Amino acid sequence: MTTTSTLQFASKAPKAPEPAPQPASTSARWRVAEVEALFALPLLDLMFRAQQTHRAHFKAGEVQRSTLLSIKTGGCSEDCGYCSQSARYHTGLERESLMPLDEVLEHARAAKANGSSRFCMGAAWRSPKEKDLAAVIDMVREVKKLGLETCVTLGMLDAEQARRLAEAGLDYYNHNVDTAPERYEEIVTTHTLQERFETIDKVRAAGINVCSGGIIGMGEDQLGRAGLIAQLANLTPPPESVPINKLIPFPGTPLADGSALDPFDFVRTVAVARITMPKSFVRLSAGREQMSDELQALCFMAGANSIFYGERLLTADNADASDDLSLFARLGLVSI
């Protein structure tokens, strides 16, 4: 493989393209053209290669389960075009205050009892204020005491905030890069991709594992999906967890009327993520509630080995837990 990156931002004005933003911790192990060539393989060949890669690094049939809780819903100042929690859009979502600690712990205990090994907490902020961060740190400490892995997604962090979360014992920080670099400004204008990378670098420097992925079905083509996967795979190291989300078109958001995604394109994305990030957990995330059992089975065959488990994902419905248990039994999958 070459070590030259081909990622670039598309310029809106008629001027020379600017170099693509890059995190400090990057090495271009995968060119976009190489990733696109994986997408172009016959589907069964691609899945076979992905399953071989998966079995070289993980036990076959083991799937990690995470539960995601919205600890502060709505009212976000950002303009992410897919997000129901943006204050800029009329989605019918009510703004809520930060959830109290005892209520968070009630959800965490239920998640553990239902078989989740990781508890993820999401807050709709651009970045946390001091009083809010202190409350989240208490949540992290107390959830850890229950024997669960912890993950939070709180928006952008500075180095001191990342250090404090690490001291509290935070295991994972989620900060998705969402889409290909050249399309980023079409999806979000209130922050840049470079700012996302800067938070990822601060989290990594603090010793916290990185959870970062993207959203499929936002109007991107195969080249756009290749660009998304390439920028994730070229992080050094790649994210320990890679959520692959299928767009949920929320009414009132700019992406509410997006075209339907070919299910096989989603499977291809999972398989390419597995091949390019062989040691990462690849998670089926948003949109799984609309997936058939057969489609999910193809995704597991393509190398997915993590799911969000439970009836809610922040503000969206998720697959029913009892249906998941039935599917796991039918496929011979084992939770870890």
- Cβ within 8 Å of residue 292, ≥6 positions away: none
Give yes or no: 299 in active site.
no
**Active-site residue identified among 49, 80, 118, 225:** 80
> Running DSSP on this structure, what letter comes out for residue 248?
-
Helix residue ranges, H only, the chain: 32-39, 43-57, 101-113, 130-145, 159-167, 184-187, 193-205, 222-233, 263-276, 293-301, 321-331
Cβ contacts of 309 within 8 Å, gap of 6 or more: 65, 66, 67, 111, 114, 115, 116, 318, 321, 324
147 Cα distance to chain centroid: 23
Among the listed residues 31, 49, 65, 211, the single catalytic one is: 211
Tell me the three state secondary structure of residue 87.
coil
Active site residue 95: no
The catalytically annotated residue of 196, 268, 283, 288 is 283
111 to 78, 122, 163, 285: CA distances (angstroms): 29, 15, 27, 16
CA dihedral 174, 178, 182, 187 (to 10 degrees): -120
CB-count exposure of residue 129 (10 Å: 0-12, 13-18, 19+) = exposed
123, 154 contact by CB (below 8 A): yes
Cα–Cα–Cα angle for 294, 300, 301, nearest 5°? 90
Cβ(238)–Cβ(279) below 8 Å: yes
Which is catalytic among the residues 31, 49, 65, 76?
A: 76
Question: Which residue, chain included where needed, has tokens 């993590």?
Answer: 306
- For residue 246, the cross-strand partners are 216
Q: Out of 31, 49, 118, 151, which one is annotated catalytic? A: 151
Active-site entry in 120, 183, 274, 299: 120
Q: Catalytic residue positions?
A: 76, 80, 83, 120, 151, 211, 283
